[in-house]
Amino acid sequence: DTGVSQDPRHKITKRGQNVTFRCDPISEHNRLYWYRQTLGQGPEFLTYFQNEAQLEKSRLLSDRFSAERPKGSFSTLEIQRTEQGDSAMYLCASSHVSDYSNQPQHFGDGTRLSIL
Amino acid sequence: AQKITQTQPGMFVQEKEAVTLDCTYDTSDQSYGLFWYKQPSSGEMIFLIYQGSYDEQNATEGRYSLNFQKARKSANLVISASQLGDSAMYFCAMREQSGGYQKVTFGIGTKLQVIP
- Tell me chain A's radius of gyration from C-alpha atoms: 14
Helix (H, G, I), strand (E, B) or coil at A100: helix
pLDDT in tens, B31-44: 889 999 999 998 88
The pLDDT value recorded for residue A2 is: 76
Rounded distance, CA A40 to CA B77, Å? 20
> What are residue A84's phi and psi, to 5 degrees?
-55, -40
pLDDT in tens, A69-85: 998 899 999 999 999 99
Q: Does B93 touch chain A (CB under 8 A)?
A: yes
Give chain B positions within 8 Å (CB) of A90. Answer: none
Q: Does B99 touch chain A (CB under 8 A)?
A: no
pLDDT in tens, B12-24: 999 999 999 999 9
Q: Does B108 touch chain A (CB under 8 A)?
A: yes
Instruction: Please name the residue of chain A whose CA is at the shortest distance from the CA of residue B96.
Output: A101
Residue B86 reports pLDDT greater than 70: yes
Phi-psi category of residue A106: left, alpha or beta, with phi > 0 → left and psi -120 to 50 → alpha: beta
pLDDT in tens, B48-72: 999 999 888 999 999 999 999 999 9
Instruction: Please name the residue of chain B whose CA is at the shortest distance from the CA of residue A57.
Output: B103
Instruction: Please give the average pLDDT of every successive group of 10 residues along chain A, which has 116 residues.
Output: 89 97 93 93 92 87 92 94 96 78 82 96
What is the share, in percent, of chain B residues with pLDDT greater than 70?
96
Minimum distance, in Å, between the CA of residue B110 and any CA atom of chain A: 10
| Beta strand pairing call for A111-115 and A10-13 | parallel
Average pLDDT score, chain A = 90
Q: Does B106 touch chain A (CB under 8 A)?
A: yes
The pLDDT value recorded for residue B65 is: 97
